[in-house]
Amino acid sequence: MKYKNYELTVGLETHIELSTKTKMFCSCEVGFAGEPNSRCCPVCLGLPGSLPVINRQAVEYAVMAGLALSCKINNSSYMDRKNYSYPDLPKAYQISQFDVPLCYDGFMTLSTGKVIRITRIHIEEDAGKLVHNKGETLVDYNRCGVPLIEIVTEPDFSSSEEVREYVEKLQHLMRYIGVSDCRMQEGSMRCDVNVSVKTAGCETLGVRTEIKNMNSVANMIRAIEYEYTRQSKVIEQGGMVTQETMRFDEAKGVTIPMRSKEDARDYRFFREPDLLCVHLDDKEIEDIKEKIPMLPSDKIKVYTEELGLSITDAQHLVKYRRISEYFDEVVRLSPCAIKASKFIIGQMFSLFSTEAEKEAFSVKVSPSQLAELVALFCEGKINSNLAKVTLDKMLLSGKGAMEFLSEEDMRGFTEEELYILCQKAIEQNPNVVSDYKGGKDKAIMALVGFVMRESKGKANADKAKETLKKLMTD
């Protein structure tokens, strides 16, 4: 960034749709796409006389999200009406939480060690969708009343890279604990980005603009960088930044002030009279805590510190919850975690190409079948190559390792047999031997190859190399 004298400050408000079966206050189904206005009822349309009932699962998911981000949970929080008029909001108010949110005071630690404070997480309902088409605008209320959480951070980000890491980590975490699919393109995760600049070293923050409804990380970064430059220029030229709500024009790559509902600052919040407060006693909060799986960051610690995996392999395994749970199960049944991780990351992971496939991780080999194969390898009954070939057959057929391995295969390979084969390799390849003795160290690999072929892959390549070296220096 070229404005050296100005520092960037960003705060994020992230909306995440919860993966509940039904909406926040009625039993209409939650879903993506489909026939417009096919998933609505008097409650989510706000027809007179209808009464909302709070979705317990949504509250539970929101608490899970809060706990995963180290938030405190209010035993009693309140639903409020946020009043505004807009065509996508048939009730002319949104049920949200104003002064007493469900969760507060959390944080997320970035890879640099920097802590991003989470101010609050509250529950609310989504609005409908306006569909602009050839000069006319249609309204689809299917999304009306879909449960949302809004996660608000303190203005703690000082670069767009930090924003990227936060959003990606948040997305991973929420998917991992199973509260949302967080698909930015489909709108199940959307970010409002608050941006300001201030003179380097200055204590007070500058005036901010808020860019609404960003639906990709790449665009968020473009928008932040554009705003940083624009605001820096304004200040440098002696002007003042106006606090306003903006949208990002993806095609032009610029932010544009919006004249919208957000201009009216007064939402006339008041308690939702049709709902009781959201009450959770400590026992209920504990019970919800039990439902959260071990978080990716904690798992990475166990994998590296207790199981001896590399950090890269550990990160690979926790990227998708099913894969890491599959791995956990294999490790529970077999002693060799490192080998198991290599099979999963290498041979099994490469079967899938799309994100959805990786997330589903549907393989024909059960954890206990893989554990059996890994055990055969660890006990030295089969070598790495045979294990690999066998796993391929298992993945295609869903059958266990023993279906493909004979007594002969599992007999292993004795020191003596190896010795005899190495001698044979030397006898039959005099040219290679003289190359090696003449100083071409790499020539030995040709002899190792010979031994591997003759033993049908059963010999251990490292041991063969060692034996060959000894034989040729004696």
Q: Which does 196 bind (CB under 5 to 8 A by kind): ligand ADP, Zn ion, none?
A: ligand ADP
Q: Any idea what DSSP says for residue 349?
A: G
Does residue 194 belong to the site contacting ligand ADP (CB under 6 A)? yes
Q: Which two tokens stand for residue 68?
A: 């995963």
Which one, 152 or 280, has the nearer CB to ligand ADP? 152
Which one, 152 or 167, has the nearer CB to ligand ADP? 152
Name the residue among 205, 203, 204, 225 with its Cα closest to residue 214: 225
Which one, 216 or 245, has the nearer CB to ligand ADP? 245
Q: Which stretch binds ligand ADP (CB under 6 A): 63-71, 88-96, 148-156, 250-258?
A: 148-156
Cβ atoms 141, 41 nearer than 8 A: no
Helix axes 367-378, 384-397, angle to 10 degrees: 160
Looking only at Cα atoms, what is the longest distance across the chain? 98
Q: Which two tokens stand for residue 23?
A: 């909406």
Q: Which two tokens stand for residue 441?
A: 């160290």
Q: Which stretch binds ligand ADP (CB under 6 A): 193-201, 217-225, 280-288, 439-447?
A: 193-201
Does residue 196 belong to the site contacting ligand ADP (CB under 6 A)? yes
Which one, 41 or 338, has the nearer CB to Zn ion? 41
Which amino acid makes up residue 106? G
Does residue 143 belong to the site contacting ligand ADP (CB under 6 A)? no
Q: Which two tokens stand for residue 473?
A: 């220096």
Which one, 145 or 206, has the nearer CB to ligand ADP? 206
324 vs 328: CA distance, rounded Å: 6
By CB under 6 A, name the one of 55, 96, 153, 232 that touches ligand ADP: 153
152 vs 66: CA distance, rounded Å: 11
Which one, 263 or 392, has the nearer CB to ligand ADP? 263
Which one, 144 or 425, has the nearer CB to Zn ion? 144
Closest approach, Cβ 96 to Zn ion, in A, equals 17
Sites for ligand ADP among residues 257-286 (CB under 6 A)? none
Task: Tell me which residue has tokens 């266990």.
Answer: 400
- Cα distances from 433 to residues 310, 416, 418, 462, in angstroms, run 38, 21, 18, 18
Task: Tell me which residue has tokens 């809060």.
Answer: 66
Closest approach, Cβ 206 to ligand ADP, in A, equals 6
259 vs 247: CA distance, rounded Å: 10
Does residue 357 belong to the site contacting ligand ADP (CB under 6 A)? no
Q: Which does 155 bind (CB under 5 to 8 A by kind): Zn ion, ligand ADP, none?
A: ligand ADP
Question: What residue spans of 6-114 are helical by DSSP H?
Answer: 42-45, 56-68
Site size toward ligand ADP (CB under 6 A) is 15
Q: Which does 41 bind (CB under 5 to 8 A by kind): ligand ADP, Zn ion, none?
A: Zn ion
Q: How buried is 424 (Cβ within 10 angstroms: 0-12 exposed, 13-18 middle, 19+ buried)?
A: middle
Which one, 195 or 391, has the nearer CB to ligand ADP? 195
Sites for ligand ADP among residues 9-38 (CB under 6 A)? 9-13
Q: In the bound complex, which residue of the shown chain has the CB atom lying closest to ligand ADP?
A: 11
Q: Is 120 helix (H, G, I), strand (E, B) or coil?
A: strand
Closest approach, Cβ 95 to ligand ADP, in A, equals 17
Q: Which two tokens stand for residue 423?
A: 């001698």
Residues counted in the chain: 474
Q: Which stretch binds ligand ADP (CB under 6 A): 6-14, 133-141, 341-349, 407-415?
A: 6-14
Cβ atoms 189, 148 nearer than 8 A: no
Does residue 241 belong to the site contacting ligand ADP (CB under 6 A)? no
Q: Which does 26 bind (CB under 5 to 8 A by kind): ligand ADP, Zn ion, none?
A: Zn ion
Does residue 205 belong to the site contacting ligand ADP (CB under 6 A)? yes
Does residue 155 belong to the site contacting ligand ADP (CB under 6 A)? yes
Closest approach, Cβ 195 to ligand ADP, in A, equals 6
Which one, 224 or 337, has the nearer CB to ligand ADP? 224
Closest approach, Cβ 310 to Zn ion, in A, equals 49
Task: Tell me which residue has tokens 């047999």.
Answer: 417
Contact partners, residue 433, CB within 8 Å, separation at least 6: 426, 443, 447, 472
What is the binding site for ligand ADP (CB under 6 A)?
9-13, 152-155, 194-196, 205-206, 208
